[in-house]
Every structure is written in structure tokens, then in C-alpha cells.
Amino acid sequence: AQDCQVDNIQVMQNFNRTKYAGTWYAVAKKDPVGLFLLDNIVAQFNIAEDGQMTATAEGRVIILQQWELCAHMFATFEDTYDPAKFKMKYWGAAANLQTGYDDHWVISTDYDNYAVHYACREKGYDGTCIDSYSFVFSRHPTGLRPEDQYIVTQKKQEICLLGKYRRVQHNVLCDSV
Ligand code: AZE
């Protein structure tokens, strides 16, 4: 059972950022309030020689109600007391894209196949999250392997977001745009 307190959410033990580096395809997402990445979401994490983590991400967005484009985003990560919890500063390659400063928690990963990410933007008075987003990432653009689905479902439940995800489509859209 879980109490849905953000402060009690278990994150990945002994998180290894070097093994986390590389390309991840979002295969499912739970959206936050407001504008968000729609589909074709691919993230690339990089670890510099000094250990600093950075990332790029792309995904389809619709801005100004009607403009469809592939957003190219950049992020830098600040370490915290927990190796699986980061603060993420991000911005878009184009000035009209979103900037922000969000949590970036790695809830669970086997590094080679799946990862469950979580970000709470706003906590309520009761300590539960009132504005969160989350990605299920896969190393494979085709989706999760059947053998990873059980653990991913379990983690969705632990972060109190079971049933709140949508699949993320991948087509060639953002390869060229
Ligand atoms: C994430 C992977 C690591 C790098 C970044 C990520 C998040 C990006 C967004 C982008 C939103 C863009 C919008 C544009 C109009 C977690 C996928 C930067 C949340 C809404």
C-alpha cells in the first residue's frame, strides 16, 4: 500500500547515471497541467567527464493553439542528497518554447530496457502531489518488453498514477522537422 505522500515515494536505489545515459523513447506519459509534449518524445541523457548530467529531448507540441512543431529541448540537472533525484532546468531551442525548473526523479530502471520517471510540480497541503507528470521510457522505440510490464505497472501504482498514462506514439514525424 502507498500513502501517496510525495516525500515517501521510493526512488531507484544506488542510481547509476552513467548506465542511465543514452537514448530513451517515451512509450507512455502522464501529463501535467498545461502545455506538454504530445508524442514522438525521445530523450538523450549525457554524462560529462566531471559527472554532470545533461539531456536533450524532442517531441511534438502544439503551441499558440495551432502551430505544430517538433520541440527541441535542452536540460541541465542539479544533484540533490539522493542520487536518483535531480532538479532539471530546461529550455527550448526556439525562444517560444517552454522553459522550466522541475523535479526529475528516477523511480525505477534496469538501465537496458525500461525506466520510470516522475516529476511533481506542486504539492498540496496534505503532502500528495497535485500537479505531476511522468514518463515510462524504453530503450526500444517499439515499446516495453512484456517482461518489463509487471514492474512498470507496480511502479505506476507506487507513485499513485496507475491508470493515468497514455501511450506515446512514435512515427517519423520528428526525424525530419
Ligand atoms: C524530459 C527528458 C529530459 C530532458 C527534458 C525533458 C522534458 C521536457 C519537457 C518539455 C516541454 C516542452 C513544451 C513545449 C511547448 C523529462 C523528457 C527537457 C517537459 C511544453
- Is 55 near ligand 1, meaning CB less than 6 Å away? yes
**CA-atom Rg of the chain in angstroms:** 16
61 Cβ below 6 A of ligand 1: yes
ipTM of the complex: 0.96
CB proximity list for 28: less than 8 A, separation 6 or greater = 135, 136, 165, 166, 167, 168
* 147 CA from centroid of ligand 1 (Å): 28
Task: Return the residue matching grid coordinates 521510457.
Answer: 137
Mean pLDDT, the chain, as a whole number? 94
Give 56 Cα–ligand 1 centroid separation in angstroms. 8
Place 163 in a pLDDT band, splitting at 50, 70 and 90: very high
Most confident of 90-94, 138-142, 149-153: 149-153
Which amino acid is present at 71?
A
136 lines ligand 1 (CB under 6 A): no
Query: What percentage of the chain reaches a pLDDT higher than 70?
Result: 97
Query: Would you state the pLDDT for residue 97?
Result: 80
DSSP string, 87-137: EEEEEESSTTS--EEEEEEEEEE-SSSEEEEEEEEEE-TTSBEEEEEEEEE
Residue nearest ligand 1's atom 6 by CA:
57
Q: Give the residue, by CA position, lying nearest to ligand 1 atom 20.
A: 36
Q: Is 28 in the pocket of ligand 1 (CB under 6 A)?
A: no
Return the pLDDT at 162: 97
Per-residue confidence band for 177, with pLDDT thresholds at 50, 70 and 90:
very low
How remote is the CA of residue 1 from the centroid of ligand 1, in Å?
30
Report whether residue 21 contacts ligand 1, using a CB cutoff of 6 Å. Answer: no
Tell me the pLDDT tens digit for each residue of 36-88: 999 999 999 999 999 999 999 999 998 877 888 899 999 999 999 999 999 99
Q: Is 115 in the pocket of ligand 1 (CB under 6 A)?
A: no
